[in-house]
Structure 1
Amino acid sequence: MWTISGFADEVDDDFAVQLDFLNSRGIRFIELRSAWGTRVCDLSASQVRRIKQMLDDAGIAVSALGTDLGKIRLDDDFAVHLDRTRWATDIAWYLETSELRGFSFFMDERDDPQACRNEVVDRLGQMVSIVDSAQIRYLHENEAAVWGATPQRCADLASCFPRSAFGLILDPANYVQGGVRPYSQAYPFVRESTCYVHVKDARLADQTICTAGEGDGQWPELLAALRNDGYDGFLSIEPHLARQEAFGGFSGSDAWAHAHESLIWLLDAAGITYS
């Protein structure tokens, strides 16, 4: 059965409000990106303990830790980033999730992706090794600004690591914003390694974010293909409907609820069972 989760920090910074909102929507999982306006990797130990108690009290579990790992440049201080990776791994273990979202290093017009490839794989491999040592899997998101922005490079990364340690997040909106059609152009490359899905959409004409099914994300085709391929994982709502930023986004409760309702409509139309 497929399971709905989401980024509740797009509703409010206050973690209690996030949990109340998810419960009001009947959603039992959260992809934890931030609490009280603090990114998850910057939380203190006492804050993490408080979060765990609040999650338990609310009856909500963590589908994945929505970290910012890998959102640095290759010429940034990597030793510091490895320490950040260790702390993120500790948080994921304590919050009882086996999945950790990350990226593959910022690139810009100065960078030649092919020339950077070996360094990306080496550094990402060090991070994956840390995460895997705690039996947690590194989930790579195909964001437009990172090395693994294209389906071909995502597939390349997935081929470098065992599936138990590394998997791909399928984010259709991010592909659209990179000029790639998610089902017809991306999915053939990433289908074998996709193990988590982010739910949002975008329009090719202007890269504007919209709810799933309202843009060029080919959501009906993707859902049918995922079902036929035996997908059995999370659908994590990440609306970005009011604001999209490098390290997060915001939607508000009404827009988030609309994104949730749009996903339910798509799943019902496809005859897919979910919780």
Structure 2
Amino acid sequence: MSDVAAWTLSGFGDEIADDPAIQLAVLEALGARHIEVRSAWGVNVVDLTDEQTDALAAAIHSAGFGVSAVASPIGKVDVSLPVDHELERLARVIRVAHRLEAPYVRVFSFYRGAGQTAEDIRDDVLARMRALAALAEADDVVLLHENEKDIYGDVPSRVLDIVESVGSDYLRLAWDNANYVQCGVKPFTEGWGSLSPYVDYLQVKDALAATGEVVPAGEGDGELLETLTALRDAGYDGYASLEPHLAAGFALGGFSGPAAFGRAARALNGLLDRIGVTTT
């Protein structure tokens, strides 16, 4: 390739520490100038006060950083809740995103109750995803659906169903190889061909198919190298956001700590070096 591809490195700051100052310092040491914001001071983005949001924005600006996305928990609730429940929470998250000058807000596509199948909840999920996308369009922010395990859109066929059925430029995809592995999917082999036209954002982690354990990029069964190569060949120039989950994973996030986060960054850089991609 005549031109070297350059992607923008980012990462989930709260996987490093609760304190945004530490989050930013570690990311800067790893060569990043962007952060993905899921929580600060132990407070999830959906619960940040205006004063906390202002303080966070000031810290990020002072560090010379940008915000790649706001990693909200929207849609990580049971689909039986009223539509307005998540619309009200998304409205709060969008205010945070605008204050932080973030172009994207991550969302999910709802859990189902015991005994329900994915098909049982499909219509309710799509109604809610359409409503969320409409609010995002009105407020000029792009939603990124993450393929989290156990939600409606956890496997490629249902992720495709969501983006095609909603049909909005304000609902795109965040691609997570590890989550697909944990659902028994070979991410690149079984999902990339159909979903790649809708992918705007890369979340970086890997996993072992046998156990579901999350591991650094390239050390699992997530077909990371194939995915990264395909992104490069397609001219991708977006974010690569580290979400290592190397110490713990839980309902609303995960944790790695500074040392493990650094290990995850080095693993990603090793793969990118092999395919001639740099990060900024």
> Which TM class, normalised by the smaller chain length?
over 0.9
CA distances 1:210-242 after superposition (whole Å, capped 9, x unpaired): 000000011111111111222221111000001
The answer for the alignment partner of 1:149 in structure 2 is 154
**Structure 1 partner of 2:215:** 210
Q: TM-score, normalised by structure 1?
A: 0.97
Indicate yes or no: 2:83 matched with 1:75: no
- The aligned amino acid for 1:103 is F
Which AA in structure 2 matches 1:231?
Y
- 1:105–1:58: structure 2 CA closer, same or farther, 3 Å change rule? same
The residue aligned with 1:244 is 249
**In 2, Cα distance between the equivalents of 1:100 and 1:162?**
17
Amino acid in the other structure paired with 1:100: V
| 1:37-76 equivalent positions in 2, closer than 5 A | 37-76=42-81
Counterpart for residue 6 of structure 1: 11
In structure 2, the partner of 1:120 is 125
Q: CA deviation at 1:64?
A: 0.4
- Pairing 1:166-205 to 2, within 5 Å after superposition: 166-205=171-210
Answer with 229-238 or 64-73: which moved more: 229-238
Partner of 1:104: 109
TM-score under structure 2 length normalisation: 0.95
Cα distance between partner residues in 2 of 1:220 and 1:76: 39
In the alignment, is residue 253 of structure 1 matched against residue 258 of structure 2?
yes
Q: CA shift at 1:78, angstroms?
A: 3.5
CA distance in 2, matches of 1:83, 1:90: 11
Asked if 1 retains the 8 angstrom alpha-carbon contact of 2:247 and 2:256, the reply is yes
- Give the whole-Å Cα distance in 2 for the aligned partners of 1:205 and 1:34: 31
The structural deviation recorded for 1:26 is 1.9
Q: CA RMSD in A?
A: 1.2
Residue 79 of structure 1, CA deviation: 2.2
Aligned ranges for residues 213-224 of structure 1 at < 5 Å?
213-224=218-229
The question of whether the paired residues in 2 share the 8 Å contact of 1:98 and 1:137 is answered with: yes
| Aligned 8 A contact 1:121 1:157 in 2 | yes
Structure 1 residue 111 displacement after superposition: 1.6
- Corresponding residue SS for 1:168: strand
Count the aligned residue pairs: 275
Matched-pair contact (CA < 8 Å) for 1:108–1:145: no
- Unaligned runs of at least 5 residues, structure 1: none
Give the Cα separation in 1 of the matches to 2:136 and 2:96: 11
Q: Give the Cα–Cα distance (whole angstroms) in 2 for the partners of residues 107 and 4 of structure 1.
A: 34
Higher mean alpha-carbon deviation, 118-127 vs 256-265, is at 118-127
Query: Aligned to 2:166, what secondary structure does the other structure show?
Result: coil
Rounded Cα–Cα distance in structure 1 between residues aligned with 2:30 and 2:20: 16
Matching residue within 13, 17, 20 for 1:15: 20
Which segments of structure 1 move beyond 6 Å, counting only runs of 4 or more?
none
2:244 and 2:100 map into 1 onto residues whose CA distance is 24
Are 1:163 and 1:193, in contact at CA under 8 Å, matched by a contact in 2?
no
Deviations 1:12-41 (A, max 9, x none): 111111111112222111110000000011
Deviations along 1:121-166, one digit per CA (max 9) or x if unpaired, are: 1111111111121210110000012100010111111112345211
Q: Does 2:133 correspond to 1:132?
A: no
Distance of 1:162 and 1:5 partners within structure 2: 28
Deviation (angstroms), 1:91: 1.1
Retained in 2: the 8 A contact 1:7–1:31? yes
Which whole-Å CA distance do the structure 1 matches of 2:148 and 2:275 have between them?
Answer: 27
Identity of aligned residues (%): 38
CA contact (8 A) 2:75 2:110 kept: yes
1:224 and 1:261 mapped to 2: Cα distance? 17
Structure-1 residue corresponding to 2:3: none
Query: Which runs of structure 2 are paired with 1:229-240 in the superposition (5 Å)?
Result: 229-240=234-245
Deviations 1:169-205 (A, max 9, x none): 1100000000001111111221111110110000001
